[in-house]
Structure 1
Amino acid sequence: MRSKELGIRLVTAFLVGPFVVLCFVNYYSLIGLVATVVMFASFEYINFSLKELKHPLLRLVYVAIITLTTVLYGLLLDKLNLFGDTKRRPELLFSLAFITIVTLTILAVNDTRKAKLFVVNGSLPLIYISLCLSFFFPLYIHFGPFIALLNLLSVWVFDAGAYFSGIRFGKIRISPSYSPKKSLEGAIGGYLFTVFFVWLYGSVVTLIDPNFHMIGLDEVLLLPMVVAVFGTVGDIAESALKRFHNLKDSGSILPGHGGMLDRIDGLLFVTPIFYIFMILLNN
């Protein structure tokens, strides 16, 4: 990456980063943040995966359904948790959204071959983007804002650590076919950066809140491993999607970073697994 491009990337990060972090102060602002990210990322994916087909209004309706599902899921999780109701399953919202997408496609698209493409590419963001990113909500509800924020910041730190380690030491390519620039040395360097960051983050948060005891040695070693493995897999998976559609970036909404989907690719895979590991480590 040229110095000018790196400069643009850093400026964007410094402008957007603080706003994103502030959204973790309140659960409802987090819902707004996640829904906004889901909206832009879903729009990018649906736009480039269905760009050769017509029905632009149907594509916008897909994005609206996916975004609304994200908001409703976050609100329902909070309401059910507030009243201690664990029997109802708000995840059914995603099934209802999928059924709605299929029904609208049948009504709007007469060509069966095109209808299949619309259903597949219109509903994939519902799981790949909306559901995966919505694990921020149970993370926040069950473990608090500090852990939910740690999930996000750990991915950021890993990405930065892997990038600079890969530039300096990268030789062994992890996935030459899908993401030629990803190296084993970069992933290891990113992991070590993240280990140090998680330890430092836990120490600082303990000073702020003496009752915070969720980050011990197990978390310091295992959570960065989750970030390193699944962040890398998520990045490669998105690269595979872009290669299939002959794209360099998913969009251009974030100068220096490409599209929204480019920015959250690793986070989509990390967040659900991060939540699972937090349950296992704090059982």
Structure 2
Amino acid sequence: MAFEERLGEIAALVENRLAALLGQDALGATPPVLGAAMRHAVLGGGKRFRPFLVIEGARVLGMSDMAAVDTACAVECLHCYSLVHDDLPAMDNDELRRGQPTVWKAFDEATGILAGDALLTFAFELLARPSTHADAAVRAALVLGLAEAGGSAGMVGGQVLDLASEKGDATALHTLDGVSTIQRMKTGALIRFSAEAGAILVGAAPDERRALRVYGKALGAAFQIADDLLDAEGDASATGKAVGKDAAAGKATFVTVLGIAGARKRLAELNAEARAALAPFGEGAHHLAAAIDFVSNRRG
């Protein structure tokens, strides 16, 4: 099966499962407008790349797609919450996401905040359900890993640094070390956890879990460089969101500190690191290997 076909297969599986999990009946007493905003944030768009990493990482270690899908959905809910909040006027003030109005534009700002809150907490509710994994220790490890990736020392802390990089007095962030720290926390932590989550689900050997963690760390950095290049060179009709905003806002990015050529060179180095980390899994990891090229060459 080709990579794009496998990515689409997992995206369809995750989309269907998310639709079931976030249906108004499944959400119970959730106010209808909040449920609608949550579905607007999550359904009908996106490549489901982080869920792909969860499910494919688990498959490499012998677990079925269905056994890993709820963990993948939890990761996607947390990811989508972050997008909803990133788009708010107080953050990036974006009106377009995946070719559609952002949640705060489609509803209102308060509903956008609350929909993000609801998706964040739902992610942990989903991981804590016995139906996600029969072993409570595995569920606890998943909750801990996602909390670390998404919290103050991960994605949320990275967002704080990203916003600070727009200020003239945050010059320390406008260096390669500064940008790398922002990336490792804001974008990289969740991608790294997504790649490692399959090993947690399976109860993999320490060296297997370590290999997927190293792969995810390199892939996360590559993803951010590709994103920075897209913002600098991309087209809104292809990316589904506004472009050129990083430079206009004065943000610290790999492009601003390395230039276009330097960013592309670093991207190639990270690709090699990610590919080397997959060596212990042999041909079985061919879809994870193909994901490296997908990240580097994406246009949206």
- Establish whether TM, by shorter chain, passes 0.5: no
Q: Which has the larger radius of gyration?
A: 1
Q: RCO higher in 1 or 2 (8 Å CA, sep ≥ 6)?
A: 1
Give TM-score, length-normalised by structure 2.
0.33
